[in-house]
Amino acid sequence: MNFYQIDPTTDTRWADLVERNPNSSVFHTVGWLKALQRTYGYAPVAFTTSPPTGELKNGIVFCNINSWLTGNRLVSLPFSDHCEPLCDTIEDMNFLIQQLQTASVKRKWKYLEIRPVHGNFGLANNRGAFLPGPKYSLHRLDLRRNIDALFQSLNKDSVQRRIQRARRGALVEKCGRSDALLKDFYALFVTTRRRHRLPPIPDDWFTNLIRCQGEALEIRVAYKDNVPVAAILTLKWKDVIYYKYGCSDTRFNKFGAIPWLLWQAIESGKLKGANVFDMGRTQEDNPGLLAFKNHWVHQPEQLVYWKFPDSSVDSFDRWKLKMAKRIFSFMPGRLLTITGRLIYRHIG
């Protein structure tokens, strides 16, 4: 076998592979890769055993992150919950991984990171060269049941009753990709990130997502008496709806707007042929969000990220993160937003 490198944003064979491969996700799509490139300057690159003149039979896609602050590395993929290697056989995957390890040493990458969904990456990587890194829970709701059975499967107190409360509260939903909806979504997003003591992702990211994803992206905003109280952003690829971002004004939590918006997205998705509602990754040390998602999906999957060489976050790095959050908590909103624009390209 031979080892080739391609640009997945310009090589039309990549889009064909993503379309026909059953393990592909929205994070493999050219639209997602272009949004990453336009917002953060990352260079998308894919590695394959297929020669330039033949059909693309496999590939592992990365973004090359060149940062003077955090080092140069390949990540598959930054700001993406998961990204499965698109390889039909373990032999192909092993060959590509071995070649990438060799290239990593030659090109002096700080590390390689792969974010597969399926556990066969760990089984295939039997030489132990890649080591497990961060672990997450992945909540994916099966939508193939009829709508009534699906609703009854959700937690009665934390989901069903909150959706019913939102209906009684006469919330109004607006859905689309307009500038006005994006403005209301982002204002709530900034407020939510400040509450979590984190800088907001640059607004350019969402603008680029809308441009690159088109009708696959939907923003849903809930209003109470014309006041935006909560919002979510979802993406659709094949038969999967991806819940990527959610935000809210805590003064209106009693209305249950977020569960209601999620249910609106699920009902709409089912009408469009969706079979899965992917709620994304959740860190093990985020018990509040984990509990919220467990009320929708009772048995989440384990999601493991793999790194070569091992570069686990040590206690000093965790201490720095805690200190950063303390500093962020005292920043005014405008300065926090500027900070987000400056730092996110370095931490993908």
Question: Residue 65: inside a domain, yes or no?
Answer: yes
- If pLDDT is split at 50, 70 and 90, which confidence band does 330 have? low
**Region for 23 from its dihedrals, namely left if φ exceeds 0, alpha if ψ lies in -120 to 50, beta otherwise:** alpha
- If pLDDT is split at 50, 70 and 90, which confidence band does 24 have? very high
* Co-location of 70 and 155 in the same domain: no
pLDDT greater than 60 at residue 10: yes
pLDDT greater than 80 at residue 227: yes
Beta strands at 240-248 and 276-283: parallel, antiparallel or unpaired: parallel
* Co-location of 249 and 213 in the same domain: yes
In this structure, what CATH number is given to the domain that contains residue 58? Answer: 3.40.630.30
DSSP secondary structure code for residue 59 in this structure = B
Largest CA distance in the chain: 63
Average pLDDT, the chain: 90
What pLDDT sits at residue 348?
Answer: 77
Q: What is the tens place of the pLDDT at every residue in 299-319?
A: 999 999 999 885 554 443 444
* Co-location of 76 and 177 in the same domain: no
Using DSSP's 3-state secondary structure scheme, residue 158 falls into helix
Residue indicated by tokens 């899965």: 276
What pLDDT sits at residue 339?
Answer: 85
Extract the tokens encoding 334. Answer: 């405008």
Give the count of domains, the chain.
2
What pLDDT sits at residue 70?
Answer: 83
> Angle between the 333-343 and 179-195 helix axes, to the nearest 10 degrees?
100
Q: What is the tens place of the pLDDT at every residue in 58-109?
A: 999 999 999 888 889 999 999 999 999 999 888 998 899 989 988 888 888 8
What pLDDT sits at residue 325?
Answer: 62
Question: Residue 152: inside a domain, yes or no?
Answer: yes
What pLDDT sits at residue 315?
Answer: 41
Using DSSP's 3-state secondary structure scheme, residue 56 falls into coil
**Region for 47 from its dihedrals, namely left if φ exceeds 0, alpha if ψ lies in -120 to 50, beta otherwise:** beta
* Co-location of 213 and 117 in the same domain: no
- If pLDDT is split at 50, 70 and 90, which confidence band does 256 have? very high
What pLDDT sits at residue 327?
Answer: 72
What pLDDT sits at residue 322?
Answer: 58
What pLDDT sits at residue 316?
Answer: 37
Question: Residue 337: inside a domain, yes or no?
Answer: no
**Region for 304 from its dihedrals, namely left if φ exceeds 0, alpha if ψ lies in -120 to 50, beta otherwise:** beta
CA distance 306 to 116: 8
Residue range(s) defining the domain that contains residue 200 = 144-274
pLDDT greater than 60 at residue 126: no
Q: What is the mean pLDDT of residues 148-171?
A: 96
* Co-location of 16 and 117 in the same domain: yes
What pLDDT sits at residue 342?
Answer: 84
In sequence order, which ranges of the chain are alpha helices (DSSP H)?
12-20, 30-40, 90-107, 120-124, 147-152, 161-168, 179-195, 203-213, 257-271, 287-294, 315-330, 333-343
Q: What is the mean pLDDT of residues 141-161?
A: 96
